Structure formats: structure tokens, C-alpha cells
Amino acid sequence: MFKMIDVLDKNLVQNFTHSLNSPTELDEFFSQSLLNVSEVELQNVIAQFFSQHDAMAKAKALELSDEAILCLRTGENLTQGTTLTHTSKIVALCLAEEIDAFSQVEISEISVDYLV
């Protein structure tokens, strides 16, 4: 099975959970790290993501448009322009699921009402 921790920079993986509380910093760090990942590895990540039975629901939850999803599924230019942002969202979700980061993030009481 394909593992995100084998593809991404070790520093990014180690600091990922801590960075979830500062999204701006995480976005910049993630985008820069993705530029160091080969196009083939990113294509594999995206292909694996979309092979999941609930991939479309997850993509919609990430606020990816139908056009963005189609662009990602072609696997071309994954680190270019707005596609880098979309790629970053999917890679971040895959990594978060892989390392069970959601169980380590504190959700404030005010946010809990919106999760119901």
C-alpha cells in the first residue's frame, strides 16, 4: 500500500499535527514541500485518493469543484497554479488520515455545534 509518509519530506510529516493549529503556516509549508515531490509520486497519491469508494464525497468536503476534480484526475500539472492548492488539500487529507491527525486536534466547543 502507498504511504504518504514515504513520499513527503520527513520534517513536514513530523510537524504536520502541530501545524494544523496554524493553517496559514501549514499551507505555505505544504505547498513548498509538494514542489519537491516528483510528479509521478503526486500522480500516484491522487490516483490512490480517487480509487477510494468515498473519494467524491471527500473531494466535495474539501470544496473542490467538478472542474478541479477533473483536472486532478488527469494527473497533469499537479504543482501548477491553482491545481497546486487542490493537490495540497488532497495530500493533506491523505496524510491526516494516515497518521490519525484528527484524533490529535482539539476542536473547540463552539465548533462542535457545526459538526452535528
**What is the per-residue pLDDT across 67-108, written as a single tens digit (0 to 9) for each?**
999 999 999 899 999 999 999 889 888 887 887 666 665 555
**26 alpha carbon, distance to own chain's centre:** 11
Report pLDDT for 22: 61
Report pLDDT for 92: 83
CA distance 103 to 106: 8
31-76 residue pLDDT tens: 788 888 889 989 998 999 999 999 999 999 999 999 999 999 999 8
Q: How confident is the model at residue 13 (pLDDT cuts 50, 70, 90)?
A: low
Report pLDDT for 116: 47
